[in-house]
Amino acid sequence: MFQKLQKFKDLIINSKNILLINHIKMDADAFGSLAALFLVLQKMSKSVKAVNDSETPKDFDFLLDKKIIEPELDISEFNPDLIISLDAASQSQLWEIYKNFENIFLEKNFVVIDHHQTNPWFWNLNFVYPNYSSTCELLYDMLIELNFEKYIDKKIATLLIAWIHTDTNIFYNQNTTPNTLKVASELIKLWADFRSPIYNFYQKISLNRLKLFAKAIESLEVFWNLIIWNLKNDDFRNTNTSLEDTSGIINKLSNIEENEAICMIYEVDDWVKVSFRSKNIDIWNFCASFPNWWWHKNAAWFYLKANLEESKKIILEKFKKFF
């Protein structure tokens, strides 16, 4: 890893314009790692831009007092010397941004930083380490090895620890390792505000979101060792909520004692998003049989171009074959 890190350090030092990108439907780890690196590079007096197909989810606003994601950025005009992808498990997860500016991605120095086991090492300099709980944990270790610790202030430390919290479910999930706890401890020493993310992501809840959770609970169905919940487009409309408001809901519902695996199906216009959590069932191969999927050890999700009832039927038929 040392030689790769030295090459990465040289690329950063010798680059003036640096572009950061993360995956579509960005989650906490994708945003946190990008935002933390964005602020580090700014402190190094780099011209840095961040891009994604969509705006930053509003749930993340409490961590950063400015907008850094520019969905309409003209990458050709910015003309980056270096492009860094964070938390994207494949090239396809860069979505329309990559498609629209493919020629620039192909000709520039491009670095991939990610922790997903399914990542195929899709570019020429890859830091892909599935033993890390999150890309934020990996990024912290990389910053230390690059001797960039002096740039990590309270805001950056808080960004990093916040997303370690979410990807490990506050150190509860099986991806939590001794190194995860060590990194969290070091971030607290750097004055990370570890309480605020816990409150905002795990304790605070609006009345509308509570009504949405109630809709999910009402939809509960049990099939064999699988519990299925769903949220329809009408549920979002009637509670004045959106897909963003489902953040964390599956972790709360996965605590049911009888649960071996749970499936949460969300209608998103004419698509559905399907999230899985499991305790003892290996859902890797099952979820890999679907397109547009992401995976962790006991958590996976994918998208289907179907309505809710059709999706449920497809999922149950496949689940019966696998388990």
Average pLDDT, integer, range 48-68: 93
Q: Which are the contacts of 237, defined by CB distance < 8 A and separation ≥ 6?
A: none
**Structural domains of the chain in order of their starting residue, each with its CATH number:** 2-203 (3.90.1640.10), 207-322 (3.10.310.30)
Which segments of 225-281 are extended strands (E)?
A: 226-231, 261-268, 271-278
Mean pLDDT of 80-84: 98
Q: Where are the alpha helices (DSSP H) in the chain?
A: 2-13, 28-43, 75-78, 95-100, 102-107, 135-145, 154-168, 178-189, 195-198, 207-218, 233-238, 249-253, 284-288, 308-322
285 or 184: whose pLDDT is higher? 184
pLDDT at 91: 87
Dist CA 312 CA 12 (whole Å):
47
Q: Which two tokens stand for residue 239?
A: 């509670």
State pTM to two decimals. 0.88
> Mean pLDDT, to the nearest integer, of 155-176?
93
Q: Write the pLDDT tens digit of every residue in 265-280.
A: 999 888 899 999 888 7
* Mean pLDDT of all residues in 7-32: 95
Lowest mean pLDDT across 118-122, 189-193, 230-234? 118-122
Average pLDDT over residues 241-257: 84
Q: Which phi and psi angles does 121 have, rounded to 5°?
A: 60, 65
Write out pLDDT tens, residues 94-136.
Answer: 989 999 999 999 999 999 999 998 888 888 899 999 999 999 9
Q: If 0-12 CB within 10 Å is exposed, 13-18 middle and 19+ buried, where does residue 316 land?
A: middle
* pLDDT tops 90 at residue 13: yes
Residue 296 pLDDT > 70: no
* pLDDT, position 322: 85
* 150: Cβ contacts below 8 Å, ≥ 6 apart: none
Cα–Cα distance, 53 to 203 (Å, whole number): 29
pLDDT of residue 253: 81
